[in-house]
Structure 1
Amino acid sequence: MCGIVGYIGKNKDAKKVVLEGLKKLEYRGYDSAGITVYNEEKSEYEIYKDFGRVQKIVDLTKDVAKTSVSIGHTRWATHGKVTKDNAHPHYSDTKRFIIVHNGVIENYEELKNIYLKDLKFYSETDTEVIAKLIEEFSKNRNTCDAIMDTLKLLKGSYALLVIDTLDSDTIYVAKNKSPLVIGRSNEGVTIASDLMALVGYANEFFSLPDHTFVVANENQVKMFNLNHEEQKVTYQEIDLDESSADMGEYQHYMLKEIYEQPSVIRRVIQNYLTDQKEIIKSELINEIKNSDRVYVLAAGTSMHAGYVGKALIEELVNIPVEVHIASEFAYHMPLLTKNPFFILVSQSGETADLRACLLNIKNKGFKTLTITNVKTSTLAREADFYLELFAGPEIAVASTKAYIAQIAVFAILANKIALNSIDIKSELNRVAVAIEIFLENQEISILAHEKLTKQNCFYIGRGLDYYTSLEAALKLKEISYIQTEGFAAGELKHGTIALIEDKTPVIALISNKDIALNTRSNLKETNARGAETIIITLESLKHKDDEIVLNDVNSFLAPMLMVVPTQLLAYYAALERGLDIDKPRNLAKSVTVE
């Protein structure tokens, strides 16, 4: 969830590299930031940290001279409140060791009581325990051994950068569960929790495996396992374009990413349906065909895409599908069928709850597929198969284009396996065109201003529209902070209609002609109780006074189109309230803690 960046090299200003890297990772979500730099004139390390945005650290360090070594961090609070003392970096008892850390150390209190009970602590974090442990062990060990012996005691997840202030030429690195990548160029070595931070500073990179330890200086990187055995490092070229993460003419990344969705659909088509290479391997198709049930595991927006994927697979492939919340499945696994197949859906490919699921599934010997936007991610590497979303960098915390890409990939996969397939390329193109037509003519800001005036709201729909309602509700609540729920339209009257009062917004999604009148009837029930209603529907199903009418598309792919107006309703509701749309409070882009 947090961001880590470190740099060591003589040809770049390490402070600048780290701060620019942290700015690129602001989309991950955080509440405080900090950096340590080596002051070459004083031959000492200085720490600058505070709660708030990275820009505060930029301002604090504007007069700091060029430095060759630096590590920095953006923190999303897990242990302790959002305070300057709890911000990273943290240091050991005599301040010899300085560290930044992503992850959660589950046994930190136990370690504190056993090894560090006589020491004073200045923060409430589990991270400070790591720093002090390293120093305790360094009293009778060299630095590498002190760090490795500390790592062997840690239970939980960590991405860790360590500086020994007695050695200004080295950054020590360790990783377990939390993501970490190392990049290199002729000018130095950059370490980060996300590949995005390496762009512009490294030509090639490698992702650290779990339970590894790295010693990095400006021209050499050596990796070891925790038995001190050196491991082979294999680099690959960085293929991210720095300009793809620019905001361009848009006011916010979220708005830019909403408008990118037609091009994302076409990119998915190009990579899966027009390229000569076979991305969906026959082995994957056979594994799914031969399974007796497919289990989709995901969280948040990815889970909502999974529900649509369930409908597509069941309809086109005729195999039953269950969708499960990853955090529940990891520790409360249901009774499984004899020959299950598992699909894990994650934008980042680093979702901690899904990693816990994957470990359990692999231990049982079942086959897995990851659908992700990051082909170098842990879930992509560790699953038996992976399918890439090709959505490009998604910077806004609230996912939009990755959701569209997830459904597109599900549709292509289901259609590939189906006995009676449809012209999926043509149908996806129709969706892309329909989204473009809507975006060119939409006036959602007026609807948001006039009708989203209360602190609670409801989305309703039936069938696939119900799944879209869940995603629409999540978008509105996460960036506008309006309490929003998605309901199956027929279920609202079984209790929850008690919450409908004068001017309560109720938004109905109608894309299926067989149940369109049922949903309209349910909406009338709320209207009779004073609700402020909005209808989002298709051209062939429209009534005279419907507020949002979209071009007709294949009913199975309608969720890709129907969700777009709801994304914009969320955006303009948040804009109306003057909120931080791309970085909503308390949220993170990549949820790497359980």
Structure 2
Amino acid sequence: MCGIVGFIGNKKDAKEVVLSGLTKLEYRGYDSAGISLFNSKFRSFDIYKDFGRVQKLIDLTKNTLKSNIGIGHTRWATHGKVTKENAHPHYSQSKRFIIVHNGVIENNEELKSQYLSDSFFYSETDTEVIAQLIETFTKQLNVENAILTTLKLLEGSYALLVIDTQTPDTIYAAKNKSPLVLGKGDDGITIASDLMALLGYADQYIALADHTFVVAESDSVKLYNLNHELQPLIYLEIDLDESSTDMGEYQHYMIKEIYEQPSVVRRIVQNYFNHDKINISADILKDIKASDRIYILAAGTSMHAGYVGKYLFEELTHIPAEVHIASEFAYHTPLLTAKPFFLMISQSGETADLRACLLKTQKLNYKTLTITNVKTSTLARESNYFLELFAGPEIAVASTKAYVAQVAVLSILCNTLSDQNIDLIKELTKVALSIENFLATQDISSLVHDKITKRNCFYIGRTIDYYTSLEAALKLKEISYIQTEGFAAGELKHGTIALIEEGTPVIALISSKEISKNTRSNLNEVISRGATTMIISLANTSQESDDIILKDVHPLLTPMVMVVPTQLIAYYAALERGNDIDKPRNLAKSVTVE
């Protein structure tokens, strides 16, 4: 859950490339940041680091000389507190080796005890163990073999960039579980934990596989496996648009991404429908139809989309579906049916908990499908099948457009497997129009100001609205820090109503006529106990006094529309409190640690 960037070249300044990349990747971790640059005047490497944001590095390095080589890092703390000492880069005892690392070394204490009992450590991190081991092994081995020997001892995950200060013309890199991409451009080699960091500096890339080792110079790259055997270099063209990562006219990435949702839905329609043909592999459909149960594995926002997916599968295909928290499934797998099919949902395609699930299901020879926003990601590459979200880069840590995209793609998949033949081109177009209409005509900032005033808040809904309430609650707690829970409306009276006090906000989601009276009755129960309430409804379920009324869409597609006002409620609640909306405390975007 860290951002790492390295550059080696002849023309461009490494500082410019690394700091630009770190700024683009800051959503991956922003507890602290650091950079190491070669100082040509003194023939040495300078290190600048501190807790806080990349802007500190920009300020610290204003007067540095142009450098041909550098590595940098933004941290999301796992080992050790958020301090300058624990910020990357780290170095070996003599400071010969400098290193940045994304991941977790699970056996770092054992390695310390076995190999480094006499070593002095500058930090509390697991990363420093790697640097110390490399230096220890160079007493008997050359640098490449010392690094390879170290890599074979590491248990856990790593994306590494290593510099040997004695050879300031080389960056060494290695990858296992944590993402790492290598980019090639006219001006040099860039290595980073995300493709976005390569934009503007590389036009081709390689998504590195696990257990690979790279030796990069300004004009050459060698790729090895851990047995030091050369591997082929197969580059792909970078097809990301750099403008898609800009904030444009918006104040925050989150609000930009909320407003992009209608175009995301339309892009999905364009990519999955070609007149009468649906662009989903026949093999995917065949394997799902042959299964007796769908197991949906995900985490966080993606898991909430998974709950909607369960609803869609069972309503449209009549195949039973279960949703499991990835981090639980990986280590406590339930009893499985005879012919399971596994569906994994991840915005980044790098979620470590899901990767653990994937490895487990692969050992059992079960078929897997990943739905992800990143076609170059580990899960996309390693699953049997994958479906792309086409949401474009999502920079804000709190996911919005990826959730809507996940539900849209799930609806297309389930409808394709169904015999109900819903005209999804028409119905998804109505979804895009409903979202667009709401965003263009309803300003809810004053509503949030008046009603979201307490330390606690509840969302309630029934059936498919309950699943939306879970995502709505997560969004509000993520960025406003208001303790928020989503509940099935009928469950309030079974305990939760004890938490209702004078002024407690309770927001009801009502998208179905069938349960409208029931949910409104539950709302009256909390009103009589002093709650401040808000109702979000569709036109066909609405009453005149409802706070937010959305244009109607197909009953199975309501989550894509109903969630949008809740995203804005979270946004305006956080804005009013002066919070860092795009980078909420303690969170990071791509969760690459278990």
What TM-score comes out, normalization by structure 2 length? 0.99
Determine whether 1:6 maps to 2:6: yes
Cα offsets for 1:270-310 (capped at 9, x unmatched): 00013798631111101001100000000000000000011
Alignment RMSD: 0.8
Identity %: 71
The equivalent residue for 2:38 is 38
d(CA) in 2 for partners of 1:34, 1:294: 44
Counterparts in 2 of 1:364 and 1:504: CA distance versus 1, 3 Å: same
Determine whether 1:475 maps to 2:462: no
The equivalent residue for 1:349 is 349
d(CA) in 2 for partners of 1:315, 1:261: 25
Q: Secondary structure at the match of 1:323?
A: strand
* Contact 2:535 2:546 survives alignment (8 Å): yes
- Give the unaligned 5+ runs of structure 1: none
d(CA) in 2 for partners of 1:154, 1:477: 36
Cα offsets for 1:478-512 (capped at 9, x unmatched): 00000000000000110111000000000000001
d(CA) in 1 for partners of 2:275, 2:122: 57
The equivalent residue for 2:415 is 415
> What is the letter of the counterpart of residue 575 of structure 2?
L
d(CA) in 1 for partners of 2:292, 2:198: 43
The equivalent residue for 1:456 is 456
Q: Please identify, of 467-476 and 440-449, the stretch whose mean Cα deviation from structure 2 is larger.
A: 440-449
Q: Please identify, of 277-286 and 114-123, the stretch whose mean Cα deviation from structure 2 is larger.
A: 277-286
* Contact 2:28 2:74 survives alignment (8 Å): no
Q: Post-superposition shift, 1:421?
A: 1.7
d(CA) in 2 for partners of 1:556, 1:550: 15
Cα offsets for 1:50-80 (capped at 9, x unmatched): 0000000110000001100000000100000
Cα offsets for 1:325-355 (capped at 9, x unmatched): 0000000000000100000000000000000
> What is the letter of the counterpart of residue 217 of structure 1?
E
Counterparts in 2 of 1:131 and 1:298: CA distance versus 1, 3 Å: same
Determine whether 1:136 maps to 2:136: yes
Counterparts in 2 of 1:307 and 1:489: CA distance versus 1, 3 Å: same
Determine whether 1:167 maps to 2:167: yes
d(CA) in 2 for partners of 1:233, 1:321: 41
* Contact 1:316 1:421 survives alignment (8 Å): no
- Give the unaligned 5+ runs of structure 2: none
d(CA) in 2 for partners of 1:129, 1:65: 30
**Residues 144-183 of structure 1: pairs in structure 2 closer than 5 A:** 144-183=144-183
> What is the letter of the counterpart of residue 319 of structure 1?
I
Q: Secondary structure at the match of 1:173?
A: strand
d(CA) in 2 for partners of 1:52, 1:571: 23
The equivalent residue for 1:28 is 28
d(CA) in 1 for partners of 2:511, 2:81: 45
d(CA) in 2 for partners of 1:116, 1:341: 46
* Contact 1:464 1:559 survives alignment (8 Å): yes
d(CA) in 2 for partners of 1:278, 1:493: 45
Determine whether 1:371 maps to 2:371: yes
Q: Post-superposition shift, 1:122?
A: 1.2
> What is the letter of the counterpart of residue 185 of structure 2?
S
d(CA) in 1 for partners of 2:62, 2:82: 24
d(CA) in 2 for partners of 1:222, 1:51: 34
Q: Post-superposition shift, 1:29?
A: 2.9
**Residues 74-153 of structure 1: pairs in structure 2 closer than 5 A:** 74-153=74-153
What TM-score comes out, normalization by structure 1 length? 0.99
Cα offsets for 1:410-446 (capped at 9, x unmatched): 0000011101220011000001000111101112101
The equivalent residue for 1:62 is 62
Counterparts in 2 of 1:589 and 1:502: CA distance versus 1, 3 Å: same
d(CA) in 1 for partners of 2:543, 2:140: 80
Counterparts in 2 of 1:180 and 1:276: CA distance versus 1, 3 Å: farther
The equivalent residue for 1:19 is 19
Cα offsets for 1:377-396 (capped at 9, x unmatched): 00000000000000001010
> What is the letter of the counterpart of residue 205 of structure 1?
Y
* Contact 2:91 2:97 survives alignment (8 Å): yes
The equivalent residue for 2:200 is 200
The equivalent residue for 1:258 is 258
**Residues 328-339 of structure 1: pairs in structure 2 closer than 5 A:** 328-339=328-339
d(CA) in 1 for partners of 2:277, 2:420: 23
Q: Secondary structure at the match of 2:493?
A: coil
> What is the letter of the counterpart of residue 197 of structure 1?
A
d(CA) in 1 for partners of 2:499, 2:275: 51
Q: Secondary structure at the match of 1:412?
A: helix
